Copies of this chain bind each other. A is one copy, B any other.
Amino acid sequence: MKQKVGIIGLGLIGGSMALALKEAMSVKIFGKDTFHLPKALDLGLADKQLTDENIPKMDIIIIATPVNTIGKIAIDILNKINPNCLVFDVGSTKHKIAQQIENHSNRKNYLLAHPIAGTEYSGPEAAFSTLFKDKMNIICDADKTDKKILTKAIQIFDNLNMKTIKMQSAEHDKHIAYVSHLSHISSFMLGKTVLDLEKNEKNIFDMAGSGFASTVRLAKSSPKTWTPIFIENKEHILQSLEEYIDNLNDFKVMLYRENRQKIEVELEKINHIKNVIDKVENN
């Protein structure tokens, strides 16, 4: 018998989750999306509509909406599920959501998850079934999830070929600010800096190469997804941004002083980042 999976939010992440689950397991997808439902049904990301009436029949419910909306939706869903239903979200921030659901009587049915997967594209058309394959998946505060429900969740992530690791939600939010959210801001602001110059001096983009394209790639990301993430994780992002700006200012001083040796030693140290990149890219 097919498992009934409700997915709320059928953009890049929710839509890819639908396609991946359909390939890996025997499921029927019930979708809900304020803007994209007809498109999602067209593309086969959902088989039916998820409604207040069929929520209690679901075996699994996945919340894949902008992070600022997840807490409220989670509470609404937890109010309506059957006792065996697994509910998880896939948002890029975790701690505020953890706090919002903390005291719900069905908290044990919920798992905070964050698959480290995405592209710079968004919407149902951007979804594809292999998005999560071989990617890391962070699950947070897992001790607050019922053991049987947790086992069910981990089985699903295994079926999607993800590598699941556990973490506390507060720690997750701090670290992800540095390795993901800050990258997005540095990329957006790099794009802005160059676009500002382009206003006055035409055709400079003829000179852009693959290095610029790579560094600025995340500036194509969806403002509707990322603005809520930035605000939700404001505290840690402000901290990381400050350190980033400090480093840029330090570099500016070294460059102003033409301190060749100091710059070279500094850049050599940073070259060690290649171990990290190679690991990500070989995944």
Contacts and interface: CB of A to CB of B under 8 A. Distances in A.
Contact of A207 (B176, B207, B268): B176
Nearest to A220: B274
Chain B CB count within 10 A is highest, among A214, A228, A234, A238, for A214
Classify the secondary structure of A's interface with B: helix
Interface in A135-152: 135-136, 138
Interface in A240-283: 240-245, 247-249, 251-252, 255-256, 258, 260, 263-274, 276-277, 279-281
A165 interface: yes
Contact of A215 (B118, B138, B214): B214
A169 to B, nearest CB: 13
B256 A234 contact: yes
5 contacts: A178-B194, A178-B197, A179-B205, A208-B280, A226-B267
Interface of A: 116-120, 135-136, 138, 165, 171-172, 174-176, 178-180, 182-197, 201, 204-221, 223-224, 226-228, 230-231, 234, 237-238, 240-245, 247-249, 251-252, 255-256, 258, 260, 263-274, 276-277, 279-281
